[in-house]
Amino acid sequence: MPGLFDYFERAVTGPIMTPKDFQMKILIPNVRRIVKEFDIEYDPAVPVSGDNALADRLFEAAIEFLAQTGLYCEGTNRIIQFDGPEIRKGLGHYKQAGTFGEGRDRSVLTPRKPEDTKQPWCHLGNGIVVSSDEIAMALVEGFASIPQAKSVTIPAPDTVRGLPIMGGSPLELYGVISSIESARKALWRAGRPGLAILNLCPAATTAAGAIAGCHPSTGARPSDGWLIDYLAEMTIDFNNLNKLAFITYMGGNVGSTDLPILGGYAGGAPGTALVMASYQIAGCVFMKGDYHLSGPVEMNLGCSSTRAALWVYSVVGRAISRNTNYCVLANQYAMGGPATRTYFYEATAELLAVVTSGFAGFESCHPARGIVKDGITPTEPQFNADLAAGIAQSGMQADSACELCSRLLEKYEAQIKIAPSEIQGKTYPQLYDIKTHKRSEEYDRLYDEVVEELIQMGIPLK
Amino acid sequence: MPNFLDFIERANSGPILTEKDFNMKSLIPNIRNIVKEYDIVLDKENPISSDDAMADRLYEAAIELLVCTGIYCEDTNRIIQLDRKEIIQSVQDFREGAASFGDGRDRRHFKARQPEDTQLPWLHVGTGIVASSEEIAMAQIEGYGSIPEANSVSTPAFSRVKGMPVTGGSPLEIYASINAVQAARKALWRCGRPGLPIMNLLSSSTTATGTIAGSYPVFGLRPSDGWLIDVLAEMKVNFETLNRLAFIQIINGNIGSTAIPIIGGYAGGAPGTALAMTAYFLVGLHLFQGTYHLTLPIHFNSGCNSMREALWVFAITGRAASRNTRYPAIALGFAAAGPCTKMYFYEAAATILSQVPSGYAGIQTPHPAKAVIDDAATPMEALFTVELTKAVTGIKTHRANELANQLLEKYENEIPKAPAGKKYQECYDLHTRKPSEAYRRLYEEVKAELSGIGIPFI
């Protein structure tokens, strides 16, 4: 089996071509041909698919697609090639468990199957930009205080001492290191110093920043997790390969991650599902990841709560969890922000699709598409954790999830197409007391009302 | 006093101008005016200057140059402005003797020296010249570490990994950096000097990413080693430099500021180069907040620094900085000739003679063959540096000048056609790590010849 170095060799010796040629002559034609050949069809009336045969075809299609297309390396303009038997062997070699965290918060991430009653891994919080260290620490403390949290995602600062962080500059290094140090402090304040951070390093846009943040003096530990991205679609650059090389050599947990674009190079829902499944397979085989973070994003709306995106989650989750043991966490984006009903409807629909389709875990759904500064509070992750536990424990089947999602879509589908500012919600300082870390009465009321409404609908919310 | 973040703020808010305008409208005119104003004049007959008054003028001129010119940040196209009072305060605040390197019984304090000081300089042996294989690199380092007087080593750069050329900025650079560090540490414990500091980190890295990756402690580096951070020729920095600097400051490593002003480049001739080179001491001390400095001029055309003008630059700059600051600096010669040639030793002797009596705190092995030939470095050149430095410590400047003039007669005209010499594997046995009989004989002959002209080898 090829090792990481062998893949680097392929990145400097594989077939050479321009990015445009790769996209137009390889990627797009392959997506179209393979979707057709393996009969990957999307039915909008069934946003959560329970079709095992379709899922298995998608898995085979993804192997075929990866073997036919490879990954394009932007740094060398060459294709990193894979072959089918090698891919299958690589998937077989995946050691089932990734281990994260320290002490009593050391946990093993294990795979789940569709409709599994096992609790999914709760990866709580988001890497949303925050305006101050104080808010960052309040958020991380809040995320870590949720008992179901198995790991956290920490926010990214956008300034250092009032100076905007410019990617690639020394300020990026300061931002990275400062965010990790603050997060560790917040974690011990919450009484969970061993909890793993799985989105390292959120303030880094360059490999230099990410690698700097790994130094033990910053507080990062190999038992945390580092996200290594693909670029949309089927592309990787030196920045990410450098991160991958370093994290592998230092013995850290590699988290492969992707964000395929629904309506982009992969086309509609079937093509996006094909690409997303391929990323997960490549994460296991090529990056030799310990976990994967994955979700589709709708090109025009920037969220993953649309009908088509729910279908992509469900069919990809089912395909990978039925055919591999690679542990995938679903990465979700809502259009609605904190303290909006829309957010809770969208997050519920996404989790219904994710939990019943066999994802090993989930990251709490990003409010307001993850783009509003300070636009998250601990309430949303708490909601995600409670809901996921309820869905899993109930042993909900895909058809029930599908029915509930259809009803939820009626509530928000039209709404997420309106101007985002109307539903982007509020920010942490508007909803929480920054000193006491207590939620406002207004948000208390709204939350209780929404939860009651969802329970009335039959959502198994604990 | 400003800290590093304050300087970064200046890099983001200082006066903005194109690089060309900086060079043509600020840097070059300022150097010309200041050289004239402070009467900095090259005396070709006396390449090793003992002129204390000129040395002190050069020091004042360097402060003036920094105040007038600042440091240009290539990535923001802005000038990091420096203030006279701040510079002077930094020089006064520099804690002498705070610089300590190495671990265990090889932990040492790196102390400043004065002109004609009888204190033996810090002996920094070896080179960062590219090694074509890990085996050769380890053999070279074992050889350097086996020299008992060595206080620190420079380790070679790797240009290939598993047969593939290392492309800067790619994962192969990270692999090469880590590999080089691990090989060096292994070679050092093999020769019984596991605590010896490596002070040219990271020679295999061309990017900040590679440097930062190789510095992860698991791979073998320690804060008691030394990381070299460059000022770019002339009077410039970029984000690669500043990122390295930020990171090494954060992990509390020893920062070695370094610069290679070019004789015949933007700084002009020898006086302008000496001015820039002295200014770089102050940049290292003040802006980089360094623990030590590594310095050398390079001739634009010949790529070495053994010619008359360069010896003068070494001498006057060393004198200026050592008389007026306590910032310890290592001087580094570049010879035109390669290993296993008589000419190399003549050139090395001349550069060391220009450095030791001029107050440099440390001496590094002069690099053979302009440091451009893979594997062209052996422990023999390092041994020569150590033996010669010991021999000439305490020598008077005028005597060093006489000796240098005699040596220049032997090689000055040969520089353009200098012999490339031999590679490690051509003059050492790779398995036994022993020099060839021919090289041993040549070495003894050269030593006898140099003793004959009055160099008092111990």
- Residues A412/A391, Cβ–Cβ less than 8 Å: no
- Residues A277/A294, Cβ–Cβ less than 8 Å: no
Average pLDDT taken over every residue of chain B: 96
Residue ranges of A 72-101 with Cβ closer than 8 A to chain B: 75-76
Mean pLDDT of A345-354: 98
pLDDT at position B371 over 70? yes
Distance CA A281, CA A296 (A): 16
pLDDT of residue B114: 97
pLDDT of residue A443: 98
Does A208 sit within 8 Å of B212, measured CB to CB? yes
Does B178 sit within 8 Å of A9, measured CB to CB? no
Minimum distance, in Å, between the CA of residue A164 and any CA atom of chain B: 10
pLDDT of residue A352: 98
Residue with structure tokens 């090389």? Answer: A245
Instruction: Provide the terminal-to-terminal Cα distance of chain A, rounded to the nearest Å.
Output: 46
Chain B CB contacts of A207 under 8 Å are 209
Q: Is the dihedral of CA B170, B174, B175, B179 positive or negative?
A: positive
C-alpha pair distances (Å), A188 with each of A112, A141, A427, B344: 30, 8, 24, 60
Give the confidence band of B458 by pLDDT, cuts at 50, 70, 90: confident
Distance CA A161, CA A35 (A): 51
Percentage of chain A exceeding pLDDT 90: 95
Does A212 sit within 8 Å of B252, measured CB to CB? no
Percentage of chain A exceeding pLDDT 70: 99
Instruction: Say if B224 is an interface residue toward chain A (CB within 8 Å).
Output: no
**Per-residue pLDDT reduced to its tens digit, A107-120:** 999 999 999 999 99
Give the confidence band of B270 by pLDDT, cuts at 50, 70, 90: very high
Distance CA A28, CA A267 (A): 8
**Per-residue pLDDT reduced to its tens digit, A204-217:** 999 999 999 999 98
Mutate to test the interface with B, among A6, A7, A8 (most CBs of B within 10 A): A8
pTM (2 d.p.): 0.92
Distance CA A155, CA A128 (A): 5
Q: Residue B68 is which amino acid? A: C
Distance CA B295, CA B67 (A): 21
Closest by Cβ to B174, choosing from A173, A177, A245: A245
Q: Beta B160-161 vs B164-165: how paired, if at all?
A: antiparallel
Mutate to test the interface with B, among A5, A71, A160, A169 (most CBs of B within 10 A): A169
Does A244 sit within 8 Å of B171, measured CB to CB? yes
**Per-residue pLDDT reduced to its tens digit, A406-425:** 999 999 999 999 877 889 99
**Per-residue pLDDT reduced to its tens digit, B283-311:** 999 999 999 999 999 999 999 999 999 99
Instruction: Say if B163 is an interface residue toward chain A (CB within 8 Å).
Output: no
**Per-residue pLDDT reduced to its tens digit, B378-431:** 999 999 999 999 999 999 999 999 999 999 999 999 999 999 999 999 999 999
Q: Is the dihedral of CA A391, A394, A395, A401 positive or negative?
A: negative
Burial of B241 (0-12, 13-18, 19+ CB in 10 A): buried
Instruction: Say if A277 is an interface residue toward chain B (CB within 8 Å).
Output: no
Which of A38, A23, A1 has the alpha carbon at shortest distance from A70? A23
Does B215 sit within 8 Å of A215, measured CB to CB? yes
Minimum distance, in Å, between the CA of residue B410 and any CA atom of chain A: 48
Distance CA A462, CA B41 (A): 85
Give the Cβ contact number of residue A277 at 10 Å: 32
pLDDT of residue A419: 75
Strand partners, A19: none
Distance CA A241, CA A254 (A): 12
Average pLDDT taken over every residue of chain A: 96
Burial of A1 (0-12, 13-18, 19+ CB in 10 A): exposed
Higher local confidence (pLDDT), B175 or A95: B175
Q: Is the dihedral of CA B432, B433, B437, B438 positive or negative?
A: positive
3 state DSSP class of B294: strand
Higher local confidence (pLDDT), A381 or A95: A381
pLDDT of residue B98: 72
Q: Which helix (H) or strand (E) holds B443?
A: helix B437-452
SS (H, E, C) B94-122: CCCCCCEECCHHHCEECCCCCCCCCCCCE
pLDDT of residue A96: 65
Mutate to test the interface with B, among A221, A240, A246, A248 (most CBs of B within 10 A): A246
Give the confidence band of B82 by pLDDT, cuts at 50, 70, 90: very high
pLDDT at position A284 over 80? yes
Contacts of A276 (CB under 8 A, 6+ apart): A258, A260, A294, A295, A296, A312, A316
Instruction: Say if B53 is an interface residue toward chain A (CB within 8 Å).
Output: no
**Per-residue pLDDT reduced to its tens digit, A352-374:** 999 999 999 999 999 999 999 99
pLDDT at position A94 over 90? no
- Residues A313/A276, Cβ–Cβ less than 8 Å: no
C-alpha pair distances (Å), B194 with each of B198, B335, B400, B433: 10, 30, 36, 18
pLDDT at position A95 over 80? no
The DSSP-derived string for A230-291 is: PBTTTEE-HHHHHHHHHHHHHTPEEEEEE--EETSTT-SHHHHHHHHHHHHHHHHHTS--SE
Query: Which residue in A has a C-alpha nearest to residue B243's C-alpha?
Result: A170
Residue range B100-452 in CATH 3.20.20.460: yes
Q: What domains are there in chain A, each with its CATH number?
A: 98-457 (3.20.20.460)
Chain center to CA of B261: 11
Minimum distance, in Å, between the CA of residue A212 and any CA atom of chain B: 6
pLDDT of residue B226: 97
Residue ranges of A 230-249 with Cβ closer than 8 A to chain B: 238, 241-242, 244-246, 249
Distance CA B442, CA B97 (A): 39
Give the confidence band of B163 by pLDDT, cuts at 50, 70, 90: confident
Chain B CB contacts of A177 under 8 Å are 250
pLDDT of residue B177: 95
Does A173 sit within 8 Å of B250, measured CB to CB? yes
Distance CA A279, CA A266 (A): 12
Domain ranges of chain B: 100-452
Q: Residue A453 is which amino acid? A: E
Distance CA B65, CA B59 (A): 10
Query: Which residue in A has a C-alpha nearest to residue B251's C-alpha?
Result: A217
pLDDT of residue A422: 85
The DSSP-derived string for A152-178 is: E---EESEETTEEPPTTSHHHHHHHHH
